[in-house]
Structure 1
Amino acid sequence: MKELAYYDGTIASPEELMVPFNDRVHFFGDGVYDAAVGGNHRIYLLEDHLDRFYSSANALDIRIPMEKKALGELLTDLLKKVEGETHFVYWQVTRGAAPRNHVYDSEMTGKLWVMIRPNRLRDPEVPINLITAEDTRFLHCNIKTLNLLPSVMASQKADKLGAQETVLHRGEIVTECAHSNVSILKDGTFLSHPNDQYILRGISKTHMIEACYRLGIQVLERPFTLTELMDADEVLVTSSSNFCLHAKEIDGIAVGGKDPLRLKQIQNEVIGEYLTYTGKMSLFDGDM
C-alpha cells in the first residue's frame, strides 16, 4: 500500500475508510494521539511514544483497547504494509462511539485509529524562519489531546508569512512552538522550558538533551524569555518528524548563527542515534 488507514480493526486507504458518525471525536475532539517517524519499517523510539500515548490517555480517563505491547506490535505490522523507506506513523484513540452527551460511560472502550504515509525529513542543514505569537491554549498542554485548533491557527499564520513554525509565549516566557519544541544555545549552555503543564514533553527534545549530556554540553531546563530567545547563539526546533532544525529569523529579525560548531555536534549526535536505531544509511531517501 502507498498509504494506510486503520479504524477499530479495519484496514483500508484513507479515502475508503469510514468512521461512525457517533464517534465522540466528531463532537468533542475527545481523544489523544501520538506520532513518530518510521525508518526501514521500524518506528523510531516506539517505546517512548507509547509511554506518552498511554500517559495522555490515562490523564483523560480514556480506555485504550489493547495493552502497550500489543499496540506496538500492531503499529509495526501495519508499517510493514506500506511502501517506502521513511514514513510518518500517526495513531490516536478516541473515547468511543455513543450518542452525543457531555457525560460519558466510564466503561466505554476507546476506538483506535492509525494513519501511515510516506514522509520526507527536513534537512537540518537548512535554517528555518519563525514567528512569535501569544500562547492562548488551555493549561493542559502536557496532554497530547486532539484539540489542536490554536496550533492549527498559529501554523496557518506562520505559513502565510513565509515561516515554518510559530514560537508561542505566555507573556514574556517562551513555552513551545505550534507543533514543535523550541530550545536555545547560549554561551555553551543548552536551555529549554521544563516539562510542565505548559508544554508537551517532546521525545525528540528529550533525546537531544541526552545528546548534549553525551557531548558534555551543560543543560538547563528552565523557562526563558523572548529576549533570551532573540539573543540566543542558536535557536533549535525539534519534533518527532524533525529532530534538530535551527532558525535564522524570528519575526523578520535575524537570529542565531553564533555557535555553528556546537549546533553541528548536537545535530550529528541526534541524527546518528536515529540512523543507528533504524539501520538506515542516510537521513534521506531517493525521490518518492
Structure 2
Amino acid sequence: MAVYPIIMTQSSFTHRDNLKYPYEERGLQFGDGIYEVIRIYNGEYYLLKEHVDRLFRSAAAVKINLAVTKEEMTQLLLQLLERNKMNKDGKVYLQVTRGSAPRDHVFPEGIPANVYAYVQDLPRNTEKMDAGVATITQRDVRWENCYIKSLNLLPNVLAKQEAKENGCYEAILHRNGLVTECSSSNVYLVKDGKIYTHPATNNILHGCVRMRVEKFAKDLGIPFIEESFTVDDIATADEILLSSSTSEVMPIISVDDKQIADGKPGKITKQLQQAYVADANIIEPDKVSN
C-alpha cells in the first residue's frame, strides 16, 4: 500500500516526518487506550497502588499488553515526581494507548504500547468542599463497560460541558431513572443515616476514592449500601455528595436548581471529608502551628 508523504495540518501542509506527534496513533484515531489520574499531596501520591492496580485491570480488559510490571510502573511514577522535584499538591495524568501504526480497526501486531505521564499542580478546592456545589441530571448515554477507564470520554465531556453551561459543577447521570454516577465522579445519596450508591457493576467506574469512602463509612459505623437510587429519590435526600481523585469528597447542595435539604453540606458528608483528610495525611493550613 502506497504511503503519500504530504500531510495537511491545520491550514497548511508539511511532510509527514516533520509532524511533532504521531498522527497514526491508536489513542488519537480510535480512543484506543486507557488512563489514570493520581492525586498528590505534599509531593506524595495518594492511593497509588489502587490506581496502578486499576490501570492494569483496564489494560487487561481492552487487551493492551504493558511492557512493565505493576512494580516497575510504580517505580517509574515515583521517579516522575522525584525528577520533577514535586513537593506540592498536584496530580499525575497517566495514559496508555495501543501504540502507533497504520490506521486499521484490527489490532496491530508487534507494536509497543505508547505510555506517558505528566505532573501538574492542583491545589485543593477547599472553598467548594466547604460550601457545596450545584449539579444537573443528564441521561447516561455511555457504553456498557464504564468500569474500564478508557479514553472514550466524549459523552462524559458533553455532560460536563452541559453542567458548566448551566453554572454547575457536575452532571449526575442516570439510565431509565436509575442514577449511575457523574460525568467524572461517583455519586452518593444519604437518607436516614445510610449511604446509598450504585453497585460496582460494569455501568460505573470503580473509583479509587469510592473504595475509600466505603471504608470510611464502615469505620464510622455508617451503613454503606450498594443499591441504586433514582432521580426522584434525590428530592427527598438528606444529603447528596460525590467523590473523585480531584474533587475528594464534595457535598452537593442543589440538583437541577432544587435545593437538597437545608442547602448546606450535611453531617455525614463532613465526617467523610474529615476521614479523607486524615487518610491522605493532608495538613490543613489552619491546623499548622506557627
- Give the TM-score normalised by the residue count of structure 1: 0.87
Q: Does 1:60 align with 2:62?
A: yes
Distance 2:80 2:148 in 1: 25
Of the candidates 257, 260, 269, which is equivalent to residue 263 of structure 1? 269
1:62 deviation in Å?
0.4
Post-superposition offset of 1:144? 0.4
Match 2:136 to one of 131, 140, 163: 131
Aligned CA distance change for structure 1 residues 268 and 110 (closer, same or farther; 3 Å): same
Q: Which residue of 2 aligns with 1:245?
A: 250
Distance in 2 of aligned mates of 1:95 and 1:152: 22
TM alignment of 1:64-213, pairs within 5 A: 64-80=66-82, 81-123=84-126, 124-213=129-218
- Give the Cα separation in 1 of the matches to 2:57 and 2:20: 28
**Contact kept in structure 1, 2:27 and 2:97, CA below 8 Å:** yes
Q: Percent identity?
A: 34
For the 8 Å contact 1:64–1:111, the answer to whether it is kept is no
- 1:8 counterpart residue number: none
**TM superposition score normalised by structure 2:** 0.87
1:183 touches 1:190 (CA, 8 Å); kept in 2? yes
SS at match of 1:244: strand
Residues 187-208 of structure 1: per-residue CA shift (max 9 Å, x gap)? 0001110100110001111101
Counterpart in the other structure of 2:8: none
Q: Any idea what the Cα deviations from partners look like across 1:169-215, whole Å, max 9, x if unmatched? A: 00110000000100011000011101001100011111011000000
Three-state SS of the structure 1 residue aligned to 2:144 is coil
8 Å Cα contact 1:184-1:235 kept in structure 2? yes
**Are the equivalent residues in 1 in contact too, given 2:252–2:265 (CA < 8 A)?**
no
- Can you list the C-alpha shifts for 1:25-82, whole angstroms capped at 9, x where unaligned? 1110110001111112211100000111100010000012211111111111112215
Change (3 A) 1:183 1:87: same
Of 50, 53, 60, which residue of structure 1 is paired with 2:52?
Answer: 50
Q: CA deviation at 1:92?
A: 1.0
Higher relative contact order (CA 8 A, sep 6+): 1
CA shift at 1:247, angstroms? 0.8
| Structure 2: runs of 5+ lacking an equivalent | 1-18
Q: Which moved more, 1:250-259 or 1:178-187?
A: 250-259
Q: How many residue pairs end up in the alignment?
A: 264
Give the superposition deviation at 1:21: 1.9
Q: Please tell me the residue identity of whatever aligns with 2:228.
A: P
2:39 and 2:265 mapped to 1: Cα distance?
28
8 A Cα contact 1:62 1:110, kept in partner: yes
Greater Cα radius of gyration, structure 1 or 2: 2
Letter aligned with residue 261 of structure 1? K
The aligned counterpart of 1:230 is: 235
User: Quick one: structure 1 residues 51 and 189, their matched pair in 2 at CA, closer, same or farther if it must change by over 3 Å?
Assistant: same
